[in-house]
Amino acid sequence: MTVTEDAASNDSARTGTIRTIIGLAQGIVLYLLFDASQSKAWPATDGPTFAALYTTAIFVPLIAVTALGHLRVALLVGWALFATLLCAGLAYYDIIRDPVALAVPRHYPSAQFWLSLSFGLFIGHNLLISGASDGRFFARYPTYFETSWKYGLQIFMAALFAVVFWLLLKLGAELFKLIKIDLPSQIIQKNWFWIPATTVVLNYALHMTDVRVAIIRGVRVLSCNLLSWLLPLMTLIAVAFVAALPFTGLEPLWNTRRASTILLVAAASLIFLVNSAYQDGTRIGGSDASGEKPMSRLLRFSMIAASIALTVLVALAAYGIYLRVGQYGWTPARIIATACAAIAACYASGYFIAAVHRHTRFSRLEATNVVTAFVVVGILLALFTPLADPARIAVADQIRRLNAGITTPDNFDYTFLRFSSGRYGLDALNKLAEQTTWPTASQRSAEILKAKNQYEARRPQIPITPELRTANITVAQPPGQTLPKSFLDIDWNRNQRSFLLPHCLTTNAKCDAVLVDLDGDGSNEIILIPSPAGISVVLKFTSGSWSYAGNLSNSGCPDSRNALLSGKFEVAQPAFRDVLVAGHRLSMNFAGDCTVNSAITIKAN
C-alpha cells in the first residue's frame, strides 16, 4: 500500500467514525424527544418548540453526514447552522399556523411539511455540494447530475440496508424465542435501543455508499439506462392522449374533477424519464468519449415528442386549475396545485425550446433543470412561510368572494374556515361571528365555532324537534300505530352512537318504521328503514330509555325492504345460536347478499 492509499484509508476510517458518532448522537436526541412525547413532558408540552427540535434532529445530522468530506469545515458548519435555523423556523411555523388537528394539540409537523422540506433540502444540498465540488456558484451540469443521483441512491440504499438489518434482528429474536429466551426480542423493542440503532445503521450505510463511489455510479448508469427505455412508452401514451383531445373535447376531462392532478402526474413522469434518457448530456451528441454508447434515434425522437406533449399537458392542467378557481375561489389544495403547475411550466417551456432548436443537441435542458431547481426551492420556502401560506391566501380569497357577493352567506363554507385553514380561518370565522352586516353569516359562524368536529359542523342547522321527527318518520307496520313519545323526545344528536343512527333521528331526513317484538320480551323494538335506501337500524327500550341495538344485515336489498314495509315477514329463530364468552354474547355474522337473507332475523315470505 502506498503512502497516498494509506492516508486515504485513514481519512475514510476517521470520516466513518465521525459519521457513526453523529448517528449515535442523533439517535440519543431522537429517543429523548420521543420519550418526552410519550410521557407528555417538556418539550412535548410546547408544540412549536418540540416540532422545531424534532425536525432539526431529523434533518441536520443527515446533512452533516452527507456533506462531510465534500465541504470545507467552515462551509459545512455554516450550511449546518443555516439548515438548523431553516428546519426549526419552518417547523415552528407549521405548528402555530395550525395548532390543532382533530381537536388534539399538535407537536409533530404535518406529513405535507415533511415531504416538502425533504425535497427542498435535497435540492439545496445538491446545489451546494455541486458548486463546492466545481469551485464556483453554478457547477457544470454533469456535476449536478452525478451529485443528485449519487445522494438519491445513497439514501435509498441506506434505507434498504436498515430494513435488512431489522429483518435480521427480528429473525434472530425469533430464533431465541424457539428456545424460550425472550430477552433479545424485548431489547430490540425498547425505544432506547431501536431508535439509536436505526440512526447508527443509517449513517454508517451512508458512509459506506459514499466511499464506494464506483458502486453507486454503476447502479446509477444501470437505473438510468433502464428507465430511459420507458420514455418511448410514456411518450406514445402522452402523444396519443393529446391527439385524441380534438375528437373527445375537453368536457370529459373536466367532468372527472381530478384532471389537473392526473395531468401534472403525467407531466412529472415525462420530465423524470426525459432526464433519465438525457443523463449528463454526453450521450445525446453522438459522442462516446465518455464510454457510453451514443443515444439511439428512437430515444432522441422520444425526447423531442415528449417535450412537445409535455407543454400541452401542463397547459391543460393550468387551464383546469384556472377554471376551478374561477368557479369556487382559492383553496389550499388549488394553491399547491398552482405551485406544481408553475414548476411544471418552467420545465415545459425550457424543454420545448430545447426540442425545437435542432442544433443545440437539447443542451438547453441543462439550464432549464438548474434554474427550475432554484425556482422549486423558492416556491417551497414561500408556501411554508407566511409569504404564500396556502391557508392564508385561501381564507383571504373566500372572504373576498363573500364581501363581493360572489358567494352568498347561505352558501359560504364556514366549515372550511373552522377545520381546514388553521388559525387564519379561525380568526376570520371569529370576525364573521362578530360582524352585523350579514346576520346569517354571523349566526352560522357562531354555531360552527361551537362544533367540536367536522361531523357536528356539517349537520343541517334546522332544529330537530319531536314534531319534525314525527313528520319525517312514517310507521309502515303495523298500520295505524304511532311512535312512542319517549322515543320522539330524545335528542339523538347527543347519543354517543349518533354516527350509527339513520339521519331521520339527527337531521331533517325521511325514514319508515316497523314496530315488532324481536326478542320476545313483550315490548316492540323499532326498526328504522332510511328512505329511499340504506341499512335498517334496530332501537330498543331498555333501562328506561331508547338506545341503539344493532342493524339488520342485507336489509338494504330491495326485496327485503319491500317485504318489511308491506308486513310480509315473520320473526324467526336464528340459524345459529349465540356464544357466551366471559359474559359477552357473540353472534354469527353472515356474509350474505341480496339473495341470501340468513343474516337477518326478519325473514321475508
Q: DSSP per residue over 413-442, as a string?
A: -HHHHHHSSHHHHHHHHHHHHH-SS-HHHH
Task: Give the SS3 label for residue 587.
Answer: coil
Residue 289 clears pLDDT 80, i.e. is over it: no
Strand pairing partners for 579? Answer: 586
How does the average pLDDT of the chain come out, rounded? 87
Contacts of 313 (CB under 8 A, 6+ apart): 238, 241, 242, 263, 264, 266, 267, 270, 348
Angstrom distances, CA of residue 194 to CA of 50, 58, 129, 176 = 21, 15, 31, 18
Q: What is the DSSP string of 339-353?
A: HHHHHHHHHHHHHHH
How far is C-alpha 322 from the chain's CA centre?
Answer: 23
Looking at residue 598, what is its pLDDT? Answer: 40
Residue 547 clears pLDDT 70, i.e. is over it: yes
pLDDT in tens, 502-541: 888 887 788 999 998 888 888 888 999 888 777 788 988 8
Residue 601 clears pLDDT 70, i.e. is over it: no
Q: Which helix (H) or strand (E) holds 130?
A: helix 111-134
Instruction: Work out the average pLDDT over 378-396.
Output: 96
What cell was used for 259? 384532471
DSSP 294: P
Computed over its alpha carbons, how large is the radius of gyration of the chain?
A: 32
What counts of helices (H) and strands (E) characterise the chain? 23, 11
Looking at residue 128, what is its pLDDT? Answer: 96
Looking at residue 588, what is its pLDDT? Answer: 65
What cell was used for 53? 427540535
What cell was used for 483? 311512535
Residue 458 clears pLDDT 70, i.e. is over it: no
Query: In whole angstroms, what is the distance from residue 223 CA to residue 216 CA?
Result: 10
Query: In whole angstroms, what is the distance from residue 435 CA to residue 403 CA?
Result: 12
Looking at residue 602, what is its pLDDT? Answer: 46
Residue 581 clears pLDDT 80, i.e. is over it: no
Looking at residue 5, what is its pLDDT? Answer: 45
Instruction: Work out the average pLDDT over 184-198.
Output: 95
Strand pairing partners for 546? Answer: 541
Q: What is the DSSP string of 321-383?
A: HHHHHHHH---HHHHHHHHHHHHHHHHHHHHHHHHH-GGGTTTHHHHHHHHHHHHHHHHHHHH
Query: In whole angstroms, what is the distance from residue 490 CA to residue 475 CA?
Result: 18
Pick from 131-135, 464-468, 489-493 the range whose average pLDDT is largest. Answer: 131-135
DSSP 498: G
Pick from 103-107, 179-183, 444-448, 480-484 the range whose average pLDDT is largest. Answer: 179-183
Instruction: Work out the average pLDDT over 207-227.
Output: 89
pLDDT in tens, 312-332: 999 999 999 999 999 999 999
Residue 543 clears pLDDT 50, i.e. is over it: yes
Question: Model's pTM, two decimal places?
Answer: 0.78
How open is the CA angle 216-222-227, to the nearest 5 degrees?
120
The domain segmentation of the chain, as residue ranges, is 3-211, 221-383, 390-457, 467-604
Q: How confident is the model at residue 292 (pLDDT cuts 50, 70, 90)?
A: low
